[in-house]
A and B are shown apart, each in its own frame.
Chain A
Amino acid sequence: AAGVIQSPRHLIKEKRETATLKCYPIPRHDTVYWYQQGPGQDPQFLISFYEKMQSDKGSIPDRFSAQQFSDYHSELNMSSLELGDSALYFCASSFRLAGLILETQYFGPGTRLLVL
């Protein structure tokens, strides 16, 4: 079965640079979530999109922005990178049935970002 695809899998950047992470959800899934997992930490929710609109917002820094496109893929844009941004960034997707609460989030393999 098709899974969530994230690219790139690994990324090395220097401080103050920008980075763009991409997420391709499972086919027919309409909702995308972004999470950040620091070293030895639990995943922290950043932001989510449903039908190309921002749905929920978590602890996403102002330096980060994201969007969901017409084909439902999503991109997380990160600017003015800091050392503390080094983490594993997960994308998850789900299919949100209108009026029902039956979502299960399926996670991608993550993008490991290292900021030097």
Chain B
Amino acid sequence: AQSVTQPDIHITVSEGASLELRCNYSYGATPYLFWYVQSPGQGLQLLLKYFSGDTLVQGIKGFEAEFKRSQSSFNLRKPSVHWSDAAEYFCAVGPVYGGSQGNLIFGKGTKLSVKP
């Protein structure tokens, strides 16, 4: 069965430091991978997505993610974290049903706190 694992429930980094959020997936074929961010009490905002092609994808707000098939990973990175990045981050995989994307399966999320 398809699944997404985010091993880190909570991460704290200092403002200006680099960030890497881990995401591993289990999927029978090439997945469609997404990172969403959720601020407290808010909806889910798409940061970036991977469908095919270049394995390093750029997103909004200075985020990037790298798809590594050999490691079944899609880790999210940012070289310098800003206080406004404090939020919860969800990795998701889009299974394919009959040629359409179907629903998303989410990881449990990683809560990011940023120290001044």
Contact = CB atoms under 8 A, between A and B. Distances in A.
Contact of A104 (B49, B99, B100, B107): B49
Nearest to A105: B104
Interface string B32-59: 1010100001111110010100000000
Centre residue among B43, B49, B102, B108 by max chain A CB count within 10 A = B43
B81 to A, nearest CB: 22
Interface string A11-46: 000000000000000000001010100000111110
A45 B104 contact: yes
A48 interface: yes
A107 B102 contact: no
B44 A90 contact: yes
Q: How large is the interface on B (under 10, 10 to 19, 20 to 34, 35 or more residues)?
A: 20 to 34
Given A103-B94, A107-B36, A42 B106 contact: yes
B105 interface: yes
A71 interface: no
Contacts of A44: 106
B103 A58 contact: yes
A64 interface: no
B101 A90 contact: no
A42 B90 contact: yes
29 contacts: A31-B100, A41-B108, A42-B107, A42-B108, A43-B90, A43-B106, A45-B105, A48-B102, A56-B97, A56-B102, A56-B103, A92-B44, A92-B104, A96-B100, A96-B101, A101-B32, A101-B51, A101-B99, A101-B100, A102-B101, A103-B100, A104-B46, A105-B34, A105-B94, A105-B101, A107-B44, A108-B43, A109-B42, A112-B41
